[in-house]
Every structure is written in C-alpha cells, then in structure tokens.
Structure 1
Amino acid sequence: MDLQHLKDTRFKRALAGLDLTVMDDHVIRYAAMICQVMSIEKMFFVHVEQSLELPEKVLKEYPDLLAPLDESIKGDLQKKINRYFANVPDTEVIIEVKEGNPIDKILRLTVIKEIDLILMGRKISLKGSGIASSRIARKSPCSLLLIPEDPPEVIDNILVPSDFSEHSALALAYAERIAENTQAKVSCINVYKVPSGYHTTGRSHQEFAAIMEKHASNDYKDFLKKYQLKEDTPCHFMLNDDGDPSRFLYQHSTSAGINLILIGSRGRTSAAVMLIGSLAEKLTYMDRSIPLLIIKEKGENMSFIEALMRI
C-alpha cells in the first residue's frame, strides 16, 4: 500500500439506505454529523421498494392515490432530511427512490454514483431484521458505516482493532482524520494468543503470554513507524484464549466508553493471530450498539459488482 494512499482519507460521496421505518431518523441524524466531520460533498439517500405500482383495484377505489408513489416517498423523506441537514450547508443532498431488490440496487448505485462510503442502519429492537446491512458489508466495493439504534450524538472515543497489516494502517489513518475534526481520543487494540506448543519451551502459560505481549508491543511500534502514523496512539494488548476476539473487543469497547469502531476489511494471512477480515464480519452481527466503520480500499469486491452490473 502506497503511503500517499494513507493520506487520502476523505469520503467525498456517501450513500445511505433508508427503509421508511423509525430507523431512518437515526441514520439521517448520524449521516448529518458524518457529513460535517468528513466534509462529504454529496450525500445520496436511497429507498428501494420491491414495487412502486399500486393494484388497479386500489387505484379505482382511491383515485387520490394516483400521484406517483416515488414522488410521495421523496416528499416524506425530504421533510425528515431537512430537519437534520439544516446546519449542513456544504453537503449536496440527493434523494433517490428505486424499484427492485434493495441490496442489488444499492450496490449498483454505489458504482454508478462513484460512492466512497455506504451508511446503513443496524437494528436490535426496531421492526426489520437488518439482514441487508450484513450482506452489503460483505459485498460492498467501498467503506461501510453501520449505524445502531439511537447512535451517539458525538464522536469522542475511537477504537481501531489492529493486526498491524496494511488495512489496519488504513483504518487508523481514517481514525486520525476523524480525530482532527472532532478532537476524539484514538486508541488501538491487538488481541494475541499463546501458541499451543508453548509447553515445549519449558515456559509456563503466563510466562509465554508475557513474551507474546512484548513481541506484539514491539510490532506495534514498528507498524506506526512503517506507515508514518502518530506514534503516541496507545494500544491495548489483550490475551485471547477462547479463539473469538470479537467478544473481547465488545467487552473492551463497552467498558471503555468507545463510541466509534474503525476496522480494516482485510488483515494478514490465515496465520495471523487476529484475522481482521473475519473479525469485521463478526462485529457486524455481534456488536449492534456502537457505530462500526469498516474501511475498504475502494474497488474491493469489484468482480462481484461487475457481474451484478451485467445482469
């Protein structure tokens, strides 16, 4: 990864998926804050209906419904968006209402509109399963921000899980950019484990854990220097013995008051202690209370998107 690429940490064009539920208010409010924090130039709000046509019998019984459904939906969304974007004058807002499969339409528009960041809601108690956001997380060709119900009103405590890979460096570079505009604290976390054959060295589990942590600490310092990142960013090193680092991350995030997690979409090879790629996917399902920003190099998954565009 080119070091210059790490300095180009701007999202110029963003797209938010809306579903006409209460979740839209949370997504739009958080989108307004992100537009200010990241200096986003164009913000697309998209709603996709399976069908925009009303049955003929319904139209005969209720002739007042003859107004195009897409225009009616646009009008309702415009009112909501105006409430939250009144103080975001530097971002151009565009509303699109489409017909078809929501996931396919959003991914197509991501390519057509040259989107840098997709915003999606993650539901816990509100109506709807939120499955679309998890599927888009896997297939998106650009970065993805998952917004929980009732998201925080500020960004002041950012966590970046790191395995010291290039994608971790990119995530940390974006965190540094957000911190410049919000004065947020930024910290990293690295989850390590003791290799299964440690007993052959004559060392106890505790002794070898200390050795692994020392190596991780040294690797972190080298990582910051290699990618020219801020060397005063603290890193928490956590021992994981049960094979699921997502649980540790969730516990640490809640106890530390983290209100934004940034993670790279990919990590090292399968030999890595913490597989960032699989970890990012686990977090899309597990942690639905903290906004999660999955950083991708623009153009990832393009083979899937190109196939989709040909359909």
Structure 2
Amino acid sequence: MYQIKKLIVCLDQSGLDETLVKFASFIAKVNQTKKIYFTNVIRNLNIPKDVLEEFPNLIDNMVEERKTQMKAVVDKSYGEQDGVEFSFVVKEGQLSKKILKLAHEKSADMIIIGRKVDLPGTGVVSQRLARRASCSLLIIPENSVPKIDTLLVPSDFSDYSKDALEEAVLIAEKYGKKAGIICQNVFSVPSGYHFTGKSYKEFTSIMRMHAEINFKKFIRKIDTKNIEITPVYTQDEDDDPVEDILAKAKEIKADGIIIGAKGRTAATALFIGSMAERLIQLNDQFPLLVTRPKGKNAGILDYILEI
C-alpha cells in the first residue's frame, strides 16, 4: 500500500471534531504524514446579492471565524505537531462534492470523516465518499479511542480483500507489530445442498473446509511481514454477513474494521460492494477503514463532480 502523506480531516463544529483530530494525530505520527488539511464545508448560503453589497465582508468574516474555530480544536486535541504542516480549508457548497474535489486537487492519501450516533447528522455522506473518493476513507464513530491492538478484516479472498489485509499488515507493522489481525470469512450453506445427498451438517463441514483451503491460497499471496494473522470462519445463517462481522468485532473488542472497496478500476469505481455499503450503514461502534488504491477513481472524478 502507500504512505499517508496527505490527510484530509472533515470537521463540522460538533463534539466529534476533537475525536477526529486525535485520530489524525495518531495516524500522522507513524505515517510520515507531511500535511493535514482540516476542512469545514459551509452549506450553500444563498445570500441575496443586495445583502452582500451592503455587507461585502460577510462571507470572508464567516470563513475566518470557521478557520479560527478549527485551529482552536486542533490546538486543544492534536498534541505535538512533529513537523506536520497544517492547512485550514473552508469551502461553501455540497459537502461530498467539495471534499472529493479537495482530495483530488491535493492528491490526498486518506479522508477522515465522523460517524454520528447521538449527535445530529446521518451517514449518507460517508457512503457517497466511500463510493467516489480517489483514496481510502476512515470513518470514526463518536467516542472512539485511537488505539490498535486488534484489527478485524472481513475477507472473501478477492483482490479487494487482499488490499484490505495488506493495509492491516502495514498498519500493524507501523505500530510495532503489536496489533493482532483477525481475518474473518463468512460462509453460508447454499439452499440446494439437499440435492447433493448430504445433510446440512455435512455440507456445512464441506463449505468450511473449502473456506480453509481458500484462505491458505489467499494468504500465500500476501507478505505478512511476520505478523500473526488468525483466520476465523463464521457460518451465516440469516443471509446477513454484516451482522456476523459486527458480532465478531464485538466479541474480539476490535479497535477497527478494515474492508476493501470493490471498485479497483475506473469502470467499477462507484461500486464499493454490498458488504462495505451495509457496514457503513450499520456500524456505529468501530472505526471503519474502506481501502482503495490511490487514484482508482481519478478517471471519472470530473464526471462525478458534475452530477
């Protein structure tokens, strides 16, 4: 994967901002991060022209006020700067479009955005950014604490699952090889199993055996850097693998979930996969990293920004 040298942190003047700044500091300290763009987007103001003529400094003053407020949060929560350059960016318009454009212009490696639980707001923006960003997206729920002892990587042994596991290995290596990585495969028994003459229990064993074989093939493609990766196999009995993933995350007290975006080319860039979509929708407890090789969406970004 790649170094996180340029980071965008989306602040919104809520109580979640301090948490996001702390995560930005945590990430930057071991990633040789050179620049962090702390960003706030003001919704379309639609101020009448005659009002702007009467108060020509109105918008400029508003922007400066937002920057001052962001600086205050960063000063309070970031800690030592350690050579990282800060930039405070205030934009007006639609949040997702402005963040996508900024990430493209600055060639960002990661976007950090909050996931509200009790605070007002929705997760719609997170889903839009996950589909359309040209880099990885880290979604942080309220009250999360930046630490990495245990990481959960759901895997179907595909190429985008490989991206996610490689990212987990890279993170664990950077944090002193202390993090444990759980690679979870959720399998199910096909509805027509009885036509094979096997019992449900027998076919469950067959499906698990094939999952174990596929994991061994899968892990051989990955440089684990001598970091321990523990495979777990979970049988899905209610056609909702995301519930199984979240249950496993709770069981192991995961500090984060890492999943790969399905779109790896410009042709598939808007598809992050149904599992990732549903994880973004349902997960409000664990930091969720949606990985995407940098620049994979760049070819269609201009079109997207016109939508």
TM-score (norm 2): 0.88
Q: 1:63 to 1:157 in 2, by over 3 A?
A: same
Once the two structures are superposed, what CA deviation does each residue of 1:18-67 show, in whole Å capped at 9, x if it has no partner?
11111111211111112123332211111111256877999999999797
- Structure 2 residue 89 is the aligned partner of structure 1 residue 96: yes
The RMSD of aligned alpha carbons is: 2.7
The 2-side partners of 1:264 and 1:166 are apart by 8
Q: 1:195 to 1:56 in 2, by over 3 A?
A: closer
Pairing 1:44-83 to 2, within 5 Å after superposition: 44-51=37-44, 68-83=61-76
- Structure 2 residue 162 is the aligned partner of structure 1 residue 169: yes
Question: Match for residue 196 of structure 2?
Answer: 201
Which one of the candidate residues 230, 234, 240 is aligned to 1:238? 234
Question: Match for residue 147 of structure 1?
Answer: 140
- Structure 2 residue 249 is the aligned partner of structure 1 residue 264: no
Contact 1:151/1:291 (CA < 8 Å) preserved in 2?
yes
**1:209 Cα shift?**
0.7
Which one of the candidate residues 223, 227, 243 is aligned to 2:222? 227
The 2-side partners of 1:56 and 1:223 are apart by 60
SS of corresponding position for 2:273: helix
Gap runs ≥5 in structure 1 = 1-7, 269-274
**1:281 Cα shift?**
0.9
SS of corresponding position for 1:226: coil
Question: Match for residue 4 of structure 1?
Answer: none
212-221 vs 60-69, greater mean Cα deviation: 60-69
Contact 1:107/1:140 (CA < 8 Å) preserved in 2?
yes
**1:164 Cα shift?**
0.9
The 2-side partners of 1:305 and 1:60 are apart by 35
Residue identity (%): 36
Contact 1:53/1:69 (CA < 8 Å) preserved in 2?
no
Contact 1:52/1:69 (CA < 8 Å) preserved in 2?
no
How many aligned positions are there? 298
The 2-side partners of 1:202 and 1:64 are apart by 78
Question: Match for residue 288 of structure 1?
Answer: 284
Which one of the candidate residues 153, 159, 165 is aligned to 1:160? 153
126-135 vs 188-197, greater mean Cα deviation: 126-135
Question: Which residue identity lines up with residue 232 of structure 2 in the other structure?
Answer: H
Question: Match for residue 32 of structure 2?
Answer: 39
SS of corresponding position for 1:68: helix
13-22 vs 195-204, greater mean Cα deviation: 195-204
Contact 2:10/2:112 (CA < 8 Å) preserved in 1?
yes
Gap runs ≥5 in structure 2 = 265-270
The 2-side partners of 1:309 and 1:129 are apart by 21
**1:92 Cα shift?**
1.6
**1:99 Cα shift?**
1.3
- Structure 2 residue 3 is the aligned partner of structure 1 residue 10: yes
56-65 vs 189-198, greater mean Cα deviation: 56-65
**1:176 Cα shift?**
1.0
The 2-side partners of 1:211 and 1:201 are apart by 12
The 1-side partners of 2:284 and 2:65 are apart by 31
The 1-side partners of 2:72 and 2:216 are apart by 49
Question: Match for residue 296 of structure 2?
Answer: 300
**1:197 Cα shift?**
2.1
Question: Match for residue 27 of structure 1?
Answer: 20
Contact 1:35/1:88 (CA < 8 Å) preserved in 2?
no
Contact 2:123/2:281 (CA < 8 Å) preserved in 1?
no
63-72 vs 175-184, greater mean Cα deviation: 63-72
TM-score (norm 1): 0.87
**1:108 Cα shift?**
0.5
Q: 1:76 to 1:230 in 2, by over 3 A?
A: same
**1:94 Cα shift?**
1.0
